[in-house]
Amino acid sequence: MLLPHLPMSVESPAIEVRDLVKIYSGHTAVSKISFTVARGEILGFLGPNGAGKSTTMRILTGYLPATAGEVSVCGVPVATRASEIKKLIGYMPENNPLPDEMRVSEYLNYRGRLKEIPRRKLSLRIDEVLDLCDLTRVRHRIIGKLSKGFRQRVGIAEAILAEPPVIIMDEPTIGLDPHQILIVRDLIASLRGRMTVIISSHILPEIEMTCDRVLIINQGRVVATGTPADLRREVFGQARYDLEISGDIAATLPAALTQIEPTLHIAASGEPDAAGFRKLTLTSVREDDLGDTLLHALAIDGRFRVRALKRAQPSLEDVFLAATKRSWETVDAPAGASKGPTPNVQ
C-alpha cells in the first residue's frame, strides 16, 4: 500500500495499549487502561463525558504524550516513533475542526500532500474518497458554508484519504440528523475488514450497529469490554421478560412462576390499567428462552389472563448505564441496571 518502507509486522495487532496512564496537572484522566484491537476490527468507545475517551484517542495518535504505559500501533511504539505513527493513522478529532475558508477539494488536496500521497495518485484518490463519502456534488463548495452533515463527511473523507491501516474518529456522528447518521454508519461499515476503526460515540444504537466490539470507559478505567451480546450477558447475568397479565397477582403468581421455573422472579410490578391488566417484569438466570413455556403454562392456568409476553433485550444503553453505575459504586449494579430504559422489542 502506501507505506511499504515501514517495518510493520503483519502479525502484530493494530493497536495495543498496556497500562496507559495520563495525568493532567494532578487530575488523572486515564488510569491504567489496557486493550487490544485486532486488524480490521471496528471498536466502539463508550463512556460518559470526561471518561477519558478523547484523551485516550489523542494519545493513540501521538498528539498527546502519555504519562505512563505503552501504546503501539501496528507494532510501532507511539512514544518513541511518533512520526511513523502519524502515517499509520487517520484521525478525526472531536467536533471535527475544518478550515472554513477552503473549498472541499482544495482541503483534501492540501491534506493529501501533507500525508505524503504521491502527486500522481492524489487526484484519483480524492475523486475516489469524494465518491465514497458522497461529496462529489459539493467538491467545489466552501467548507464554511456546508451543512453539518457534509462537514462531518469531509472530516471522514480526510481521515480515510491516505488509506491508513488505522482510523480513529472521535464522535463522528455527533449533531447529525438520523438520515445523515445512517449515511455515516454505512460509510464506517464499508471500511470493515479493510481498516481498523475506533469510534467513540454517545449514540449507543449507533455503536451497537457498527462495532464488532465495545469498550466502556468510566473515570479513566475500562469498566466493560466485549461484543454487545457479551456485554449484555456480563452486565445483567439474567434474562428479562415483560408480561401483561390480570388476575390475583400478589397472592398466586409468584408460586405459579416458581412452579414453571424456580429462578423466575417478579422484578417490578405496575399498577393495573382500566381492563385490570398489570405490566410485570420478570427475571431469570436461565439463558435459554422461557417464553414459550411461560406463555403455555400461564394460558392454561385459569387464574390468570395473559395479554402480552415478550423477552426484553437489554439495549447497549442499559449495559452502558449499568456498567458506568457499577464503576461509580454508588448504586448496586443489577438494581441500577433495571431502572434503565427498556427497549421495545416486539
Q: Which residues bind another protein (CB under 8 A)?
A: 24-25, 58, 61-65, 83, 86-87, 89, 91-95, 97-99, 101-102, 110-111, 113-116, 158
Nearer to another protein, 67 or 246 (CB): 67
Q: 80-114: b or e for each residue (b if 16 or more CB lie within 10 Å)?
A: ebeebbbbbbbbbbeebebeeebbbbebbbebbee
Name the minimum Å distance from CB 194 to another protein: 21
Q: Is the CB of 91 or the CB of 320 nearer to another protein?
A: 91
Q: How far is the CB of 45 from another protein (least distance, A)?
A: 17
Question: CA-CA distance, 24 to 241, in Å (whole number)?
Answer: 45
Q: Is 244 helix (H, G, I), strand (E, B) or coil?
A: strand
Q: Which is nearer to another protein, 102 or 295 (CB)?
A: 102
Cβ proximity to another protein, 106 vs 128, nearer residue: 106
Q: How far is the CB of 201 from another protein (least distance, A)?
A: 18
> By C-alpha distance, which of 174, 20, 23 is closest to 92?
174
C-beta separation of 197 from 43 below 8 A: yes
Report the C-alpha dihedral over residues 94, 100, 106, 111, rounded to 10 degrees.
-30
User: Least CB distance from residue 203 to another protein, whole Å?
Assistant: 21
When computed from its CA atoms, the radius of gyration of the chain, rounded to whole angstroms, is 25
Least gap, CB of 42 to another protein (angstroms): 20
Q: What's the CA gap between 40 and 76, in Å, rounded?
A: 17
316-328 vs 228-236: helix axis angle to the nearest 10? Answer: 50
Residue 170 or residue 318: which is nearer to another protein going by CB?
170
Which of 102, 260 has the CB closer to another protein?
102
Give least dist CB 25 to another protein, A: 7
Exposed e or buried b per residue across 7-28, where buried means at least 16 C-beta atoms within 10 angstroms of its C-beta: ebeeeebbbbbeebbbeeeeee
